[in-house]
Structure formats: C-alpha cells, structure tokens
Amino acid sequence: MRRLHYTFVATGLAAAVVACSGSPAGTPPVGTLPIGSASGSTKIQHVVIVVQENRSFDNFFATFPGADGTTVGKAAAMSTSQQSNCPVPVPEATTIPLTKVSLLGKGFPSSFGPQIGQDLDHLYSGFNIDWDTGLMDGFDLEKLGANGDGGPACTYPYQYVNPTDIAPYWDMAKQYVLADHTFQTQGSGSFTAHQDLIAGGTDLSESEALIDTPSFFPWGCDGNPQKLVSAIITRAGDVKQYGGPFPCLTYTTLRDLLDAKSVSWKYYAVKVYPYTNCPKCEGPGIWSAFDAIKAVRYSSEWTTNVSHTPNDFFTDISKNQLPAVSWITPNGPNSDHPGDLSDTGPSWVASLVNAVGESSYWNSTAIVILWDDWGGLYDHVSPPTPRNWEGGPGFRIPMLVVSPYVKPHVDHTVYEFGSILHFIEDNWNLGSLGRNDKASASIGNAFDFNMAPRPFKKIAAKYSRNFFLHQKPSNEAPDTE
C-alpha cells in the first residue's frame, strides 16, 4: 500500500427496449425494470458505468487501428539535477519512443528497476507540468509518488501496454465503440473524477471548487472531521492544499434527478470503513463516491442504493434487480492501477460485461467503461479549449461503449465525463444538473437506435467470474490519489 504524506494549510470553506422474444417493441422484458423505476425514452433502459483507474488513452490504445494514438512522445529538456537522477537523461527537448510493457510492469530496461511499480504524480500540479500550456511535453519532468512527493519520473511515463495483456478491452473496442477523444472533467486525480461522474462537477460556490484529493481516508462523511479536509481551487486559479471543507458535501448529484423521477440507481463499491471502526484502514471504500454526499450517507439510501461489494452486481442481475443507472468501482487489484502490477482488471471488466450480455438485460443496456484519470502516463493530445476555472478539461482517458445498439467504430467525438450524465438525463427526461453534463456532448452520438439489437458474443478473459466471486477483498485503496 502506498502511504501518503501531506502538508496542511488552514481549513477554510468548510444511468424503445427491444425485449426478449415475444415482448412487443418498446416494452421491457418482465423483471427488467425494478419496481418504481421509470422507463427510458430510448431502447436503453439500463446504463452501467464501470470506473477503472489511472490510464491515459495512449497507454492502452496507442496502436489501435483507426484511433488517434501514438507510440512516440514529446519530452522537454531536463535540468542538470534532473538529468543526474534519471536512467535516461533528456538534456534537450526531443521525442521519445513509448516503451511497450505488460500490465505486470515487464518490458522496461533493467535500469528502471526502482521506478517500476511506482505511482506517478496526477494532482492538478502534475497535470500542469505534463500539459505544459498545451505542448504536452512535460511528462519527463513530473515526479514519482501519488502526490508528487517522490523522485523524478524521468522517461518512465512514456509507456504503453502490450495489447495482448488487455485483450478483453481490445475485443470490446473492436466489437463496439472506442471513444478516442474523451477527456476528464478536471485535470486532477481520482477523488474529483469520481465526484464528476455522479455530479458533473465539484463546484462549492461561484468561486471555489474541489480539486485533487482530501487528506487521509475515507474520502467522505466517514472520515475523521478533525483531520480530513479537501483541496480546493479558486476562480483566481489558486489551489489550497488542504484548505477546503470536510468532504461531506451538500451539492446536487445525479441521484437527486433520478430520485425526483423515480428512476432506480445503485452504486456498487467496496465497503467503507469509518475511521472510528477501522482507524488503521488506509483506503477501503474510498471509491464509494456517495460516501461524500451527505444526503445519501445519512439516509436509508446508504443501505438500499450503495453496495458494500462490487460483486453484488452479479447477484442483482441473477435476481432481475438491475437498477436503471448503476456505477461500479473495483476491488483494488482489479482496478488497472499501474502501481498495483496486477493483470486481473481486464478480466474483471469482461466478467461484468458478460454478466449483462448473457442475461435478459442485454437488449436494454448500455455499458460505459472508462478510466478515471490519466495517472501521470503519457498522452499526446492536448485537452480542448477553453480551459475552465475548475481545472478542466483534463487529459484523455479511454472510454468504451458496449451495447446492442452500436456499430463497431472509433468515435472521434469530443466527450467529457459529463457526456455520460448528459445521456442519462436525456434518456430519462431528468432535466440537467447544469454543470459539465450540460456543457458536454451526449454519448448518445455513439448509438444507432434504428438498428436491430446485435446478439452478444462473450468476451474471452484470463480470469473467470468465479475467480472474482471468491476473491478476498484487498483492503487496499485502488489508488491513493
């Protein structure tokens, strides 16, 4: 487990159905929609959002046919001191070939030994170093460590994963939709990314928004109020680490819109251990994003709508209780986090897709798979302009859309995380949160609802569903940032 070290400042601003055979078009199959759940306005009656960890688009799909990828990166000149601490010095601005590596970190020259398995800086400060005002050449100047407190990253960020190691993802990309211009809502780490995926933004007021990560764990209402504070960014561009509020938040989320229209939802995640019950736990449950939303954490929805294990997703499908909208976050080793050096992530996602594909839900479902942030790994495409005061858009991440109503293609539309929320809002006539959801193009662009539903073909994977059903919780955070 990677431990965090923080420097504190004063605390301030404190988801027409084509059903199973015999059902009329536009009518969901029996058991498809939970009681009290309103029907969607398209053939999609279920949206499943699978959130993985810390991969840039080039890192996973650099060589995918027809996609905007590259195997060569730009690097800025290092200072003399940086050169002296790097296995491969960069004395002047140049290009660097991306090294092909495995999910287990194999493929780097032996001289990179101490860096293999290290996390990379992906705070807002790290974003700015990598971005370099749009030049996209600062990745060799970033640092190791989740919050940039390690040594120089050197050329370690210039890597891409061997496609054979992520074959399930490439299989999905070939069969369905690979969106190659999807950008984070903010140029920062995982906490705000997960909030963006439920709220479309993290603004606390007209002048302040959450950025980066809170201090300590858990990242939400179950944290220690005496120690846990958030980082904020101001409209003036100042970042206060950590001078924001205790992260038990009151802003509106998609939950509010869904509840108002009686549309069912659920967030599948690992258990949150309150700091009082598990003071030594360093992160289980930090990706349970609604733990940071006061109206959910302190209501019955914390029990009914928030899962304590992502494996409940399989149970709900088998019981015909899949909600209309769901989010799924993984057990740490299954997250694709680069520093974990685990190869189970692609199989984990394949097991989720196969569970839907082999069920009665297939003809009414869209599965969106994405990675929450770039993790400090190289990507060559600069985020679109204009930049907003909340620190976004951030870098490209991979996004896959798996559904019987998409044709195989690479979608070059510019999407952000709000694009997923935008589609959900339109599909169930929810209205809008008015944040990044409103400003972003809907992923509805990827669908063709005039086509007949495509039959499902099982995604082959190294590890079976049974493997994950019997996998013990890691009790580690997928990430520390």
**What is the CATH classification number for the domain harbouring 387?**
3.40.720.10
19-59 pLDDT tens trace: 333 333 333 343 345 545 778 899 999 999 999 999 999 99
317 and 259 in a single domain? The answer is yes
408: its two tokens: 């195989």
145 and 175 in a single domain? The answer is no
90 and 176 in a single domain? The answer is no
User: Which residue, 130, 159, 188, sits at the end of a domain?
Assistant: 159
* Cis, bond preceding 160 (omega within 30 deg of 0): no
145 and 51 in a single domain? The answer is no
352 and 411 in a single domain? The answer is yes
User: Which residue, 159, 180, 213, sits at the end of a domain?
Assistant: 159
Pairing label, strands 325-328, 46-52: parallel
Please report whether residue 27 resides in a domain. Answer: no
* Cis, bond preceding 279 (omega within 30 deg of 0): no
173 and 80 in a single domain? The answer is no
Residues contacting residue 366 through CB under 8 Å, at least 6 positions apart: 44, 46, 47, 48, 401, 402, 403, 405, 423, 447
Give me the mean pLDDT over the 410-431 stretch: 98
Please report whether residue 273 resides in a domain. Answer: yes
112 and 192 in a single domain? The answer is no
CA separation (Å) from 163 to 61, 63, 103, 314?
8, 8, 10, 27
97 and 184 in a single domain? The answer is no
Choice among 28-32, 178-182, 312-316, 344-348 with the minimum mean pLDDT: 28-32
Please report whether residue 296 resides in a domain. Answer: yes
pTM above the 0.95 mark?
no
332-388 pLDDT tens trace: 999 999 988 899 999 999 999 999 999 999 999 999 999 999 999 999 999 999 999
49-90 pLDDT tens trace: 999 999 999 999 999 999 999 999 999 999 999 999 999 999
274 and 132 in a single domain? The answer is no
Mean model confidence pLDDT for the chain? 90
Beta partners for 179?
399, 411
pLDDT confidence of residue 216:
87
pLDDT confidence of residue 177:
98
Cβ(45)–Cβ(364) under 8 Å?
Answer: yes
Please report whether residue 332 resides in a domain. Answer: yes
Beta-strand ranges (E) seen in 293-394 are: 325-328, 365-371
168 and 277 in a single domain? The answer is yes
pLDDT confidence of residue 146:
72
Residues contacting residue 302 through CB under 8 Å, at least 6 positions apart: 290, 296
In which region does residue 286 sit, left (phi positive, over 0), alpha (psi from -120 to 50) or beta (all else)? Answer: alpha
Please report whether residue 96 resides in a domain. Answer: yes
Q: How far is Cα 236 from Cα 389, in angstroms, rounded to an integer? A: 7
Please report whether residue 221 resides in a domain. Answer: no
Please report whether residue 34 resides in a domain. Answer: no
Cβ(220)–Cβ(272) under 8 Å?
Answer: yes
55 and 127 in a single domain? The answer is no
Residues contacting residue 469 through CB under 8 Å, at least 6 positions apart: 311, 314
Give the total number of structural domains in the chain. 2
248: its two tokens: 């038990």
pLDDT confidence of residue 20:
35
395: its two tokens: 């870098």
82 and 198 in a single domain? The answer is no
Please report whether residue 212 resides in a domain. Answer: no
221-262 pLDDT tens trace: 999 999 999 999 999 999 999 999 999 999 999 999 999 999
- Structural domain that includes position 152: 70-159
User: Which residue, 106, 134, 159, sits at the end of a domain?
Assistant: 159
Q: Of all helices (H) and strands (E), which one includes residue 396?
A: strand 396-402
